[in-house]
Structure 1
Amino acid sequence: MKKLTSLFLIILQICFIYPRFTEASESLPANETVKRHIVFFNEEVDESTIEQVGGKVIYKYDMINAASVELSPNQKQELKQSPKVKEVANDNTVEVSGQIAPWGHQNINLAKKNPANLSGKGIKIAILDSGVDTSHPDLKVNGGTCVLNLLYDSNLCKNSYSDGNGHGTHVAGIIAAKDNDIGIVGVAPNAEIYAIKALDAEGNGTTTTVMAGLKWAIENNMDIINMSLTTTKEDLGIKALIDKAYEKGILIVAAAGNSGNNAGNTDTVQYPAKFSNVIAVSAVNRNNVRIPTSSTGNTVELAAPGFEIYSTYPTNLASSGYAYLTGTSMAAPFVTGMAALYKEKYPTYSNIQIRKLLQENALDLGVPGKDPLYGYGLVQVDNVSTIDNDSVIKYQTNASGVINLNLEAVLETTGSYNLYRNGQLILKNGFAAAVTDYGTKGKIVYSVVPLINGIEKNDQALSLEVTLSSPYFIDLSNQHWYSRYLVYLNFKDVLKGYEDGAMKPDQQVTRAEAVAMLGRAKGLDGTMRPTKFKDVAPQSFASGYIQSAVDQGILTGFTDGTFKPDEPVTRAEMAIMLVKAYNLPKGAESVFKDVTESMAGYQEIHSLAQAAITQGYADGTFRPHEKMLRSTYAVFLAKADHESFR
């Protein structure tokens, strides 16, 4: 008992020694002026720009055009002047959401889950924390990574992602402690947990480590990310990757923070929980009353048990292998575990649908309705009965990846429906009895949700799993959101694969390739021949399509008589070609904040929006100068070519 008490004193110090977040550079030697920053580029990361000012690239985040960089104050100022740089942000510190020092399943009604055998099986959960004790007898860790080597001490990852603090192991037990004869059982004991060690033995990390952890979770196709860590700062780098994860379909759950007061009358929710794409979780006691330290605010979404929670703990830190801890750090994993049960029960649901169902099923606490203390209320199991309805929807497939769905059974009970593919909405307010889709080798799960007065009836949803044996591309799967568009264009002989069996969706599209694909889609004459452009040789694979596009008034080239066939095509150039080729009508104006009237492609970009071919980015931009990939160009071309994709 004495040894355990000593342990808790150490944990309290973690909470109070670091009452606020400091810049990561404060841990550097006093005579060192170089600091870590997150540099955002307008387009792809340009390492030469950083090297020109004398900076050092530590880590790249290509998916958001950003990098962790070491810079002196002068180098920072010089870099900010570069036209290629969008913003230079600080590399802030993060730490575990404070804990103190056990109970939980009856309050979330776990015994009444339906079906009773739900266990989170097959659901991949990333625990972005201080690591997890890989040798703990009550835990099974499926994998993970340590990103602490991105800090200033390369030895921090010497024990891989094993936990040197205790916090991450405690969180892991709440989520997925084994259903065995020892210790405790987690909310989702058969969920696959992955340890991302982004916080050190003192419970501290930085923007860089959290961003690297999020990047790993995205690249390794996690279903849920648990973030029982907090910072007071609205960190742009962390937000960008959270948005990217959410966009990919990952559900993110985070501790609201432990900065509340007794009255609960101030907005004290911390980041990342405060971001809109994150479920912010507050903590309650055994009587379902908010604990005084639990942060409050309008962004609190759900409440969960967080007072004296008994869970797993590293055996080298507590000989029993278990400990009691208190805080929103303990509440968040209850929601994460519950989300895993929902995802197992409704495998076709998107992260947005799972989130909505968690809100709808929550037990309302406090004042009626959503409030700053409990959000929608205490997280609860879903006890709605489900039936096996895979045989209700009929379908046919062929070797080219064409899938014909027969939805007559759905229309017998409703006039319209929403159709989801692997959790992603692909048809809104549909009413056709037959729908055609496209896929590559592998599995696709469809969910058809009836609409009653425009409202989804999730309890009446019908599901279907389709398995295709062909076509096969080594770098394309049905989990890629753009795959259906690429397979459609391949089926139409518009988009060709490579000899090695690759589709290369992440490769940039040249202007020549873009015109050739468009020419095939429109049935233009592709016979190789001389063109009006001095830099397009008659023997070029795209020469015939380029000249045909000129003859059709689809393109004109540059004033110097060139076409620049080997340069990547931009989103603005793509818009101009598609609108002219498909004769799309004039669109509304002022849709995107970065598209001005003086810009080439202004009208065509808005025509694409009017035709429901694009909605732009979530931040209200279109990014007209962004270079296109084979994947993104295929999406636009397929939508222009076939209205069913819009």
Structure 2
Amino acid sequence: MKKQIFSGLVSFVLLFSIIPTIAEAQIQEERVIVYYKDKVEKTIIGKVKGKIKKEYKNVSAIAVTVPSTSIETLKKDPNVKLVEKDVLIKVNTQTADWGITRTAAQKAWNSGLTGKGIKVAIVDTGIAKHDDLMIAGGVSTVDYTSSYTDDNGHGTHVAGIVGAENNSIGIVGIAPDADVFAVKSLDQNGYGYLSDTIEAIDWSITNKMDIINLSFGTTTHSATLQQIVDKAYSQNILVVAAAGNNGTADGSIDTIEYPARYESVIAVAATDSADKRTSFSATGSTIEVSAPGEGILSLFLNNQYARMSGTSMAAPYVAGNLALLKQSNGTLSAKELRLKLQQGVVDLGAVGKDTWYGYGIIQAPVATSTTKEPTQSTEVRYNSKTALATNKSAYKIGEAVSLTVTSYDQNGKILAGANAQIVILEKFRVVKVFKGTTNSYGQFKVAYNTSRRNSLKGLYHVQAKTTKEGYNMSESVQRFKLR
């Protein structure tokens, strides 16, 4: 996790971790947030030769720039509750998706729950256009652009985990029909002032979002940030945040960051495919639930896909799961839905709530007959299975990589004529896509030809999925090395 400059910065570790940094010497002006006891009073700002940068609708505060010598004057004003540094937020990603299977999302979809009609705000670096995602709208709160398009990649990855479409390409999000909104509060380098994040949450409240995802964190408490997330929760909005990526090896220290530490926010820890706490995941008494957060395949810039790890990835699993819960229980309050989230987990670690996993790993809800949405068709759909295999685990550059996809039904019977897709990724880059149909043996075989001219040494990820009329889509992942 990188440190930043404390002219008001906060750093995000994957999940996002916000951390303040050291002030520069000889600062003539500073960005601060003035938090008032009651109503905003702007007169004092003019008296100290400050400039107002942002005003908010849902919290009694304004963001300003003032001469550094005037900060003490502001603090002494009887109407001012406190003056906070306008911290800068930074995201650092560590390095598909098995998480969909582990959270039982397909059972939710089969029961008619897809997040339809639920509004989820992704407060992050924005969201890039992608063939695998529909963006419902959004806003930019950063100074340098009015566009909410992602120019970093983190926000797009987070958004895909929530709402990538359930179509014939790429991946699928846990709530594929949710209305995903891009709320850009971080720039192309993953930095953004605290005031930009507060404005983003303020916008989310005003525009009546149902769920707000915050895949970032800071070790610095902010009264204004706490006030705005508390306001969101009081307005029946569920707020989800990454717990942090600064966990210790033995998990014995409370390392949960803000805003996940606040009572009004659902703090999310990260697990791996073996249902174990990831080594980086923060621990502490305010961990509420856990979710998949290691090696997660999701959307990326330039219509690509990428794997990332962190509590940044675990949080949107929970946000998407809450979209399913809200669709199924539309009359319940945010507090009641939060309780259902806690009750619907699979307990991990110590019995009951613990400091590593909270109540446990989330599980998608299944609609009852009274909550299931009517469909146009009564067709029965069956589950399918996809197997992906390579003829060996490591290859020399110049060799052909043999890949075989086999499609089965839920009873192990082969499925001929199924549509198959194989995607090969090297780090964040899609290097090859194969499409075809399974043969009479239920197989689709391809050879990926490597070359010294175009191939790089390292670890490659392969995703395969198959679909057939009357069956649900299934997928499998594999890896191989080029040396």
Is the TM-score greater than 0.5?
yes
Secondary structure of the structure 1 residue equivalent to 2:102: coil
Deviation track 1:27-76 (CA, whole Å, cap 9, x = no partner) reads: xxx76411011111222111112111212111112432111111223211
Q: TM-score, normalised by structure 2?
A: 0.71
| Counterpart check, 1:310 vs 2:297 | yes
Which residue number corresponds to residue 22 of structure 1?
A: 20
1:582-593 matches, within 5 Å, as none
CA distance in structure 2 between the partners assigned to 1:241 and 1:82 by the alignment? 22
CA distance in structure 2 between the partners assigned to 1:300 and 1:224 by the alignment? 18
Q: 1:270 aligns with which of 251, 257, 278?
A: 257
CA contact (8 A) 1:148 1:197 kept: yes
CA separation of 1:176 and 1:218: change in aligned 2, threshold 3 A: same
CA contact (8 A) 1:101 1:325 kept: no
Which residue number corresponds to residue 459 of structure 2?
A: none
Which residue number corresponds to residue 469 of structure 2?
A: none
Q: 1:297 aligns with which of 284, 302, 307?
A: 284
Amino acid at match of 1:351: A
1:175-194 matches, within 5 Å, as 175-194=162-181
CA distance in structure 1 between the partners assigned to 2:263 and 2:27 by the alignment? 37
Which residue number corresponds to residue 46 of structure 2?
A: 51
Amino acid at match of 2:315: A
| Counterpart check, 1:329 vs 2:323 | no
CA contact (8 A) 1:273 1:279 kept: yes
CA contact (8 A) 1:92 1:235 kept: no
Deviation track 1:137-159 (CA, whole Å, cap 9, x = no partner) reads: 0011011011111xxxxxx315x
Deviation track 1:488-514 (CA, whole Å, cap 9, x = no partner) reads: xxxxxxxxxxxxxxxxxxxxxxxxxxx
Greater RCO between the two (CA within 8 Å, min separation 6)?
2
CA distance in structure 1 between the partners assigned to 2:74 and 2:12 by the alignment? 36
Deviation track 1:193-226 (CA, whole Å, cap 9, x = no partner) reads: 1001101111111211100100110110000000
CA contact (8 A) 1:24 1:36 kept: no
CA contact (8 A) 1:283 1:327 kept: yes
CA distance in structure 2 between the partners assigned to 1:314 and 1:381 by the alignment? 28
Amino acid at match of 2:140: C
Which residue number corresponds to residue 220 of structure 1?
A: 207
Amino acid at match of 2:142: L
Amino acid at match of 1:264: G
| Counterpart check, 1:369 vs 2:364 | no
Secondary structure of the structure 2 residue equivalent to 1:43: coil
CA distance in structure 1 between the partners assigned to 2:22 and 2:126 by the alignment? 20
Which residue number corresponds to residue 493 of structure 1?
A: none
CA distance in structure 2 between the partners assigned to 1:262 and 1:117 by the alignment? 41
| Counterpart check, 1:360 vs 2:343 | yes
Secondary structure of the structure 2 residue equivalent to 1:215: helix
CA distance in structure 2 between the partners assigned to 1:62 and 1:384 by the alignment? 37
CA distance in structure 2 between the partners assigned to 1:378 and 1:257 by the alignment? 17
Amino acid at match of 1:380: Q
Q: Taking every aligned residue pair, what percent have the same amino acid on both sides?
A: 40
Amino acid at match of 2:82: E
Which residue number corresponds to residue 84 of structure 2?
A: 89
1:203-282 matches, within 5 Å, as 203-282=190-269
CA distance in structure 1 between the partners assigned to 2:37 and 2:178 by the alignment? 39
CA separation of 1:377 and 1:234: change in aligned 2, threshold 3 A: same
Q: 2:29 aligns with which of 34, 37, 48?
A: 34
Secondary structure of the structure 2 residue equivalent to 1:332: helix
Deviation track 1:268-309 (CA, whole Å, cap 9, x = no partner) reads: 111111111111111101111011000100010000001100
Which residue number corresponds to residue 329 of structure 2?
A: 346
- Judging by fraction of residues, say which structure has more helix: 1
Which residue number corresponds to residue 141 of structure 2?
A: 147
CA separation of 1:131 and 1:19: change in aligned 2, threshold 3 A: closer
Secondary structure of the structure 2 residue equivalent to 1:293: coil
CA distance in structure 2 between the partners assigned to 1:175 and 1:102 by the alignment? 12
- 1:21 is displaced (CA, Å) by 2.8
**Count of aligned pairs between the two proteins:** 362
- 1:20 is displaced (CA, Å) by 6.7
CA separation of 1:109 and 1:344: change in aligned 2, threshold 3 A: same
Amino acid at match of 2:53: I
Give ranges in structure 2 of 5+ residues lacking alignment: 1-10, 373-483
Q: TM-score, normalised by structure 1?
A: 0.54
- 1:98 is displaced (CA, Å) by 3.9
Q: Which moved more, 1:175-184 or 1:79-88?
A: 79-88
CA contact (8 A) 1:93 1:231 kept: no
Which residue number corresponds to residue 169 of structure 1?
A: 156
RMSD (Å), alpha carbons: 2.3
Deviation track 1:243-272 (CA, whole Å, cap 9, x = no partner) reads: 111110100011111001221111011111
CA distance in structure 2 between the partners assigned to 1:264 and 1:86 by the alignment? 36
CA distance in structure 1 between the partners assigned to 2:301 and 2:324 by the alignment? 26
1:83-122 matches, within 5 Å, as 83-96=78-91, 98-100=93-95, 103-113=98-108, 116-122=111-117
- Judging by fraction of residues, say which structure has more strand: 2
CA distance in structure 1 between the partners assigned to 2:188 and 2:316 by the alignment? 20
CA contact (8 A) 1:224 1:340 kept: yes
- 1:113 is displaced (CA, Å) by 2.1
1:189-588 matches, within 5 Å, as 189-315=176-302, 321-383=304-366, 385-387=368-370
Secondary structure of the structure 2 residue equivalent to 1:267: coil
Q: 1:157 aligns with which of 126, 136, 145?
A: 145
CA distance in structure 2 between the partners assigned to 1:376 and 1:45 by the alignment? 40
- 1:331 is displaced (CA, Å) by 0.5
Which residue number corresponds to residue 132 of structure 2?
A: 138
Amino acid at match of 2:328: K
CA distance in structure 1 between the partners assigned to 2:104 and 2:17 by the alignment? 35
Which residue number corresponds to residue 605 of structure 1?
A: none
CA distance in structure 2 between the partners assigned to 1:86 and 1:97 by the alignment? 33
- 1:231 is displaced (CA, Å) by 1.0
Secondary structure of the structure 1 residue equivalent to 2:62: strand
CA contact (8 A) 1:23 1:90 kept: no
CA separation of 1:386 and 1:114: change in aligned 2, threshold 3 A: farther
Deviation track 1:176-203 (CA, whole Å, cap 9, x = no partner) reads: 0011110001111110010011011111
